[in-house]
């Protein structure tokens, strides 16, 4: 099936991104772990050692970078038989914001994707699009769930794909090969 090929390519793309972004994340974690000038993140709770929050992470930046790369689409034109992605130069600037709370719940907000990807609302199309997004988001083990939005609205995003607004949990994205 076409959407399964999309899933395989998106996983391969994410694996490459993970290598690129993961190396940067490891380096930044090593450098931040050795820094004695660490400044606590805004809003951190310093009440007791068991409730202390981890130092500020580069994860939201890494997640944003991975999503921006995904939204740019494949770097080369697909050859005959290769998998295609829903994302292209048209969607390159579609990411509005990315946030992550201390419990590992991410929020990803897009500009209006409907005119950019009009056929994604078909059942196979929405499954393929969500697989690409979820594979990209959940490559980061710290992320437990994600809520997708469009122009700030969870309802708008999910209605476009013919679902009710909800957060996608890591458990619900098990490998479907």
Non-local CB neighbours of 28 within 8 Å, separated by 6+ positions: 58
Q: What are the Cα distances from residue 175, in Å, to 8, 104, 147?
A: 10, 20, 19
Listed by start position, the domains of the chain span 2-30+57-75+82-173
Asked whether the predicted pLDDT for residue 24 surpasses 60, the reply is no
Measured in degrees and rounded to the nearest 5, phi and psi for residue 97 equal -160, 160
- Dihedral (CA of 27, 29, 30, 35) sign: positive
Question: In the predicted model, what is the mean pLDDT of the chain?
Answer: 74
Cross-strand bridge partners of residue 116: none
pLDDT digits 0-9 by tens, 31-46 = 334 333 333 333 334 3
User: With a threshold of 0.75, does the pTM exceed it?
Assistant: no
């Amino acid at each position: 099936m076409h959407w399964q090929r999309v899933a395989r390519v998106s996983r391969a793309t994410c694996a490459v991104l993970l290598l690129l972004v993961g190396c940067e994340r490891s380096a930044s974690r090593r450098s931040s772990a050795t820094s004695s000038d660490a400044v606590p993140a805004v809003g951190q709770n310093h009440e007791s050692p068991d409730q202390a929050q981890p130092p500020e992470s580069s994860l939201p930046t890494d997640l944003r970078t991975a999503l921006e790369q995904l939204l740019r689409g494949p770097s080369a034109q697909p050859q005959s038989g290769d998998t295609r992605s829903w994302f292209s130069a048209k969607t390159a600037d579609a990411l509005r914001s990315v946030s992550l709370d201390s419990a590992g719940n991410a929020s990803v907000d897009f500009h209006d994707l409907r005119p950019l990807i009009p056929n994604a609302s078909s059942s196979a199309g929405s499954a393929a699009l969500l697989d690409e997004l979820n594979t990209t988001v959940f490559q980061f083990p710290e992320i437990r769930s994600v809520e997708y939005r469009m122009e700030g609205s969870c309802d708008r995003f999910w209605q476009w794909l013919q679902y009710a607004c909800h957060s996608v949990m890591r458990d619900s994205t098990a490998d479907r090969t």
